Amino acid sequence: MKTTISPTRAVGLVARREFTTQIRKKSFLISNIIILIAIIGGIIAYSVFSGGGDDGNDATVGIVGDQSLAQPLESTGQAMAMTIDVRGLPDEQAARTAVSDGDVDAALLPAADGSVTAITESELSTDLHTVISAAVSSAARQQAMAAQGVDVAAVDQAVSAATVHVDALDPPDPEKGQRIAMSIAAVVLLYMQILTFGMFVAMGVVEEKSSRVVELLLSTVRPLHLLWGKIIGIGAVGLMQLTAYGVAGVATGLATGVLTVTGTAVATLLATLGWFILGYALFAVLYAAAGSMVSRQEDVNSTAMPLMILIVAMFIVAFSTVDNPDSTAGTVLSWIPPFSAILMPLRIAAGVTGPGQIVGTIAIMLVVIGALSVVAAKIYQRSILRIGKVVGWKEALGR
């Protein structure tokens, strides 16, 4: 007598079986540990060698003897968005030692005629050279005015308001570099996860079909329950893996100062996870249908090739819009499934989309997933028990 179980229990049992089978593979565990170490180690290494979130324009300058240049150096540096740390040095030998040991970026030796000799390891950076030159010129000007009996303080107060205010029509985004980095990470991860776990679904279907295990399973559960159990179980593994990668990357980036946009980083991570679920669901049903149409694993590529081409096209389009996510092509395609799955996290990371588009694209994606699920389920039911030759798309869709 045929045993029957409820649909929910049937799907749950199949999903649990697929999930445990995947995570218990030694290769799965080892590869993920290696990838996590690479992610965390790579971010830490970048933080160390790039100085993390520190401003690369900051500098330490030593001054021998008279410290009258200290205030002009600090004020000029501040005007150029640089922090100049001024240190007093007793003599020229101490100055050379400080430069050689890396304690200061440059050491200044003021001369009686107002000129200054800058001691440096190799050469002054452009910004630091500009700051020192401006400070020396300013100090010399103040001394000359004082020598002529001019009230330097009154002059400084009189000209203090003569500053330039910039009104940019398109001001630069100081967070653009971090947004681009997060966009690239989201695109690459989504591409790899959807492609990899979609193929896992197809290969799993073929494996059960070629070994005739599916015939035994279908004596207990319905084809649709088997289909959705497999998709949910394998998808849960992919989501868990992607979550581990994302949390490790974001947490390490924030901890090391490589990432400073906490809100954007968390929003991008959540968007990537959410859109993986939608993108995977869309392709998984199609990969399952493609897998059910063949009886040998080496034949999977013949039916799954159109899906692989589509995923690669999504990746190319997304990568081409990373620098300009608000382009016409990026904006239009982000509304069209399956491109939404990889373009929307990119647009969220870039901050060029709003709640309206997010809700709208999710709704469209769900409708398309529902429609494709009906078609894929029809193909799966008609093809899963057909052993031998490859079932053509026309035959699988036939009435």
Structure tokens at 16: 């649990």
Report pLDDT digits (tens) over 131-152. Answer: 888 888 877 777 777 777 777 6
Q: With 90 as the cut, is the pLDDT of residue 250 above it?
A: yes
Yes or no: say if 170 and 253 are a contact pair by the CB < 8 Å rule: no
The answer for 102, left when phi > 0, alpha when psi is -120 to 50, beta otherwise, is left
Q: What is the pLDDT of residue 152?
A: 67
What is the pLDDT confidence band of residue 225, given thresholds at 50, 70 and 90?
Answer: confident
Q: What is the pLDDT of residue 166?
A: 73
Q: Residue range 244-271: average pLDDT?
A: 93
Distance CA 379, CA 375 (A): 6
**Beta-sheet pairing, 106-110 with 59-64:** parallel
Q: With 80 as the cut, is the pLDDT of residue 355 above it?
A: yes
For 152-159, the CB contacts below 8 A with 24+ separation are: none
Q: Residue range 178-198: average pLDDT?
A: 93
Q: With 80 as the cut, is the pLDDT of residue 32 above it?
A: yes
Which three-class secondary structure state does DSSP give residue 112? coil
Q: What is the pLDDT of residue 358?
A: 94
pTM of the model: 0.75
More confident: 392 or 345: 345
Work out the mean pLDDT of the chain and round it to a whole number: 86
Report pLDDT digits (tens) over 78-129. Answer: 877 788 888 888 888 988 999 888 888 888 888 877 788 888 888 888 888 8
What is the pLDDT confidence band of residue 393, given thresholds at 50, 70 and 90?
Answer: low
What is the pLDDT confidence band of residue 336, given thresholds at 50, 70 and 90?
Answer: very high
> What number of other Cβ atoms are within 10 A of residue 36's Cβ?
17
Mean pLDDT check: name the lowest of 67-81, 146-160, 269-283, 367-381: 146-160
Q: Which residues pair with 114 in a beta bridge?
A: none
Q: Residue range 201-225: average pLDDT?
A: 79
Q: Residue range 353-357: average pLDDT?
A: 92
